[in-house]
Amino acid sequence: MGTCTWTGSYKAAFVSGAPMGGVDTPLAQNTFPGQTADVAVSLVAPGVAGSYRGYWEFKNAFGTLFGIGSSASSAWWVDIRVSGTPFATPTPITQPATATPTSAPAATATPTSVSAPTATPTSVAASTWTPTPTGAPVATQTPTFTPTAVPPTATPTAVQVTPTPTLVASGWQLYQNTKYGFAFQIPPGSVVTSKFDNGGHVLLPFTSGTNLVEKYMDVTVAENASSCKSIYSNAMSQASAQTVTINGIQFLQETSTEGAAGNVYDWTGYSTFKGTTCISLSFVLHSNNPGVFPTPPPVYDKAAESAVFSTIMSTFGYQ
C-alpha cells in the first residue's frame, strides 16, 4: 500500500532480540504501489536448547526504520524453539587409501618418421607460399611464392564506440552493472553495501564533526519504464529539474530538500533512458537539524560535500 516505490534500498532490518545470524536484507527488485515482493532472510537456529525470538522492521532508503500496523510502528518477529541434545561432533576416521595397479603398461606412441618439406624463402615483407604437393614426402622441395602487397598503414573500419570511463584519480573503484551495460567510479573510502542487477547502495565518505550524519548514493534500474526519475522524486518532493549532458548522455537532474523528525535529506538525482530502461543515480546528504541539539554541532559544508557527485557522474559511461 502507499504511493512510493520500494526500491532495492529498502530492507528487512533486524532491530532487537535474537538475530540468529540474520542481517539487513534488501529487496531483490523494485516494488511499485499495489505490488508484493518476497524477502528471503537466512537464519541459523541456536545450538543451545531454549526459546528465541528476533524482532524485525523495515528500513527505507533514508535508513529510517518503520514497522507494520496502522501506525507503521509494530515489529514482526521470528520464534524458534530449540530442544533436544546438540549433535556430537563426529570423530573423523582415518583410513589409508589403497590403489590397485593395473597390469597393463602405459600406452606408448611410436612416431612415424616423415621428412617435412623444407623451404628457403627469400626476404619478403609479407608473403604467403604454397608448397607443390607430391605423392610422397621428399627431402627438399622448391616452394612457390605468391607475394602479397601489404600497405604500410591500414585504414580501420569506422566503429562507433562509447568510451569506457577512466579513473579520475588514484584509488577510485569501478562500479559495474554488466546486465545493463553501464559503469561509473566511486571515490576511495566508499563502501558498497548492496549491489544487484536492478539496484545498489553505496556509502560515500564525508567529513565528520558536523551535523552531517551520512552521505550515500542509490543506483536503480527499471525496465520498460514510462518515465525516468530519481526514486526520491514524487509529488510531495517539489524537486527542481533540468536536463544536463554528461559524456554525450542526456540526464534529468533533480534536486530537492526534505525533512522528517529532525532529519534533513538533501538529494540530487541523475536519470537517463537506455532504450526503454531507466537508469538512475541518486545522491543523498542526510543531516540532523542543529536545533534539536542542546549544543548544536557545526553545520556541514553542503557545496564541499556534494562536489563529488558531479565528479562521479563524469565517470559514467556505457559498456
Q: What φ, ψ does residue 308 adopt, rounded to 5°?
A: -70, -20
- In this predicted structure, the answer to whether residue 270 has a pLDDT above a threshold of 60 is yes
What average pLDDT does this structure show over 246-257? 96
21, part of any domain: yes
Q: Which tens digits make up the pLDDT trace of 222-232?
A: 999 999 999 99
Are 190 and 310 contained in the same domain? yes
67, 82, 97 - which closes a domain: 82
55, 82, 109 - which closes a domain: 82
212, part of any domain: yes
What average pLDDT does this structure show over 55-79? 79
The number of beta carbons lying within 10 Å of the beta carbon of residue 196 is: 16
Are 177 and 314 contained in the same domain? yes
Q: Which comes out higher in pLDDT, residue 185 or 83? A: 185
- In this predicted structure, the answer to whether residue 319 has a pLDDT above a threshold of 60 is yes
Domain that holds residue 258: 173-318
Q: How confident is the model at residue 125 (pLDDT cuts 50, 70, 90)?
A: very low
Are 77 and 181 contained in the same domain? no
Q: Which tens digits make up the pLDDT trace of 69-104?
A: 766 767 888 888 788 765 555 555 554 544 444 444
Are 190 and 311 contained in the same domain? yes
**pTM greater than 0.85:** no
117, part of any domain: no
pLDDT of residue 205: 96
CATH number of the domain bearing residue 183: 3.40.1000.10
282, part of any domain: yes
Distance CA(115)–CA(112), nearest Å, equals 10
pLDDT of residue 235: 61
92, part of any domain: no
What average pLDDT does this structure show over 128-155? 46
Q: Which comes out higher in pLDDT, residue 267 or 60? A: 267
Are 194 and 280 in contact by the 8 Å Cβ rule? The answer is: no
First to last CA, the chain: 37
Distance CA(309)–CA(272), nearest Å, equals 16
How many structural domains does the chain have? 2
97, part of any domain: no
140, part of any domain: no
pLDDT of residue 134: 44
98, part of any domain: no
33, 56, 82 - which closes a domain: 82
